[in-house]
């Protein structure tokens, strides 16, 4: 990825692990979606439950912790349910500003443990999920959810990570 800014606010995060994992997940997602990763810029906030709960309350009126939040830089909603959104546009500098993602270590770690998944696999899934949100995908309606989840499964499969929506599988990758 051309320009990825990572801000680690919570000490539980390991920058040496998070940065390459994020780079890999973002590049795989953008490449799968036919967007040049080298033309993109975005930021990633690595925080804890307390911080993400404040952000979730402020931006979604939900004062609870969550695993991932996304703030797209461009409004890319599709025209109809179940359709792909339009491609992101480049700015005057030739770069595509995607937006921002926040991840909570506490929630991610708890969810990975509860589901028997490797933390790295779960984080990869959440980063893929967040990037798809930045690209205009959503899961509010059934048609949009089916499209987004299908893309997540394909992208994660390309990264040799099991389908996170199949409760019969446990991720065994690193």
Q: What is the mean pLDDT of residues 164-168?
A: 79
Determine the structural domain holding residue 148 and report its residue range: 3-158
Q: Is residue 133 part of a domain?
A: yes
pLDDT of residue 2: 73
Give the pLDDT confidence of 43-101 residue by residue, as tens digits: 999 999 999 999 999 999 999 999 999 999 999 989 899 999 999 999 999 999 999 99
Residue 8's pLDDT band (cuts 50, 70, 90): very high
pLDDT at 166: 86
Q: Which residues are annotated as a binding site for Zn(2+)?
A: 129, 133, 139
Question: Would you say residue 174 has pLDDT above 80?
Answer: no
From the annotation, which residues make up the binding site?
A: 129, 133, 139
Could you tell me if residue 137 is inside a domain? yes
pLDDT computed for residue 167 by the predictor: 65
Would you place residue 1 in the very low, low, confident or very high pLDDT band (cuts 50, 70, 90)?
Answer: low
Q: Is a pLDDT exceeding 90 seen at residue 173? A: no
Q: What is the CATH number of the domain that holds 127?
A: 3.40.390.30
- Residue 168, domain member (yes or no): no
127 in a structural domain = yes
Q: Percent of the chain at pLDDT above 90?
A: 91
* Structural domain count of the chain: 1
Is 109 inside any structural domain?
yes
**Tokens coding 69:** 């939040």
Residue 61 maps to a domain: yes
Q: What does the pLDDT look like over 108-151, one tens digit per residue?
A: 999 999 999 999 999 999 999 999 999 999 999 999 999 999 99
Whether residue 152 is contained in a domain is answered as yes
User: Whole-prediction pTM value?
Assistant: 0.94
Residue 170, pLDDT > 60, answer no
Q: How confident is the model at residue 157 (pLDDT cuts 50, 70, 90)?
A: very high
> What mean pLDDT is predicted for residues 22-48?
97
Residue 131 lies in a domain: yes
């Amino acid at each position: 990825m051309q320009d990825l800014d990572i801000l680690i606010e919570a000490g539980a995060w390991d920058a040496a692990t998070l940065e390459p994992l994020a780079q890999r997940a973002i590049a795989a997602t953008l490449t799968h979606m036919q967007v040049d990763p080298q033309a993109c810029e975005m930021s990633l906030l690595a925080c804890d439950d307390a911080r993400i709960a404040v952000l979730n309350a402020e931006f979604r009126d939900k004062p609870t912790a969550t695993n991932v939040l996304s703030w797209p830089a461009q409004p890319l909603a599709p025209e109809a349910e179940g359709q792909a959104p339009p491609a992101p546009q480049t700015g005057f500098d030739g770069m595509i500003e995607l937006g921002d993602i926040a991840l909570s270590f506490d929630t991610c770690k708890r969810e990975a443990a509860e589901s028997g998944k490797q933390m790295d696999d779960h984080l990869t899934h959440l980063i893929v999920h967040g990037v798809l949100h930045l690209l205009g995908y959503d899961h509010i309606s059934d048609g949009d959810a089916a499209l987004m989840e299908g893309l997540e499964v394909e992208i994660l499969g390309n990264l040799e990570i099991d389908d996170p929506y199949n409760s019969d599988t446990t991720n065994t990758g690193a």
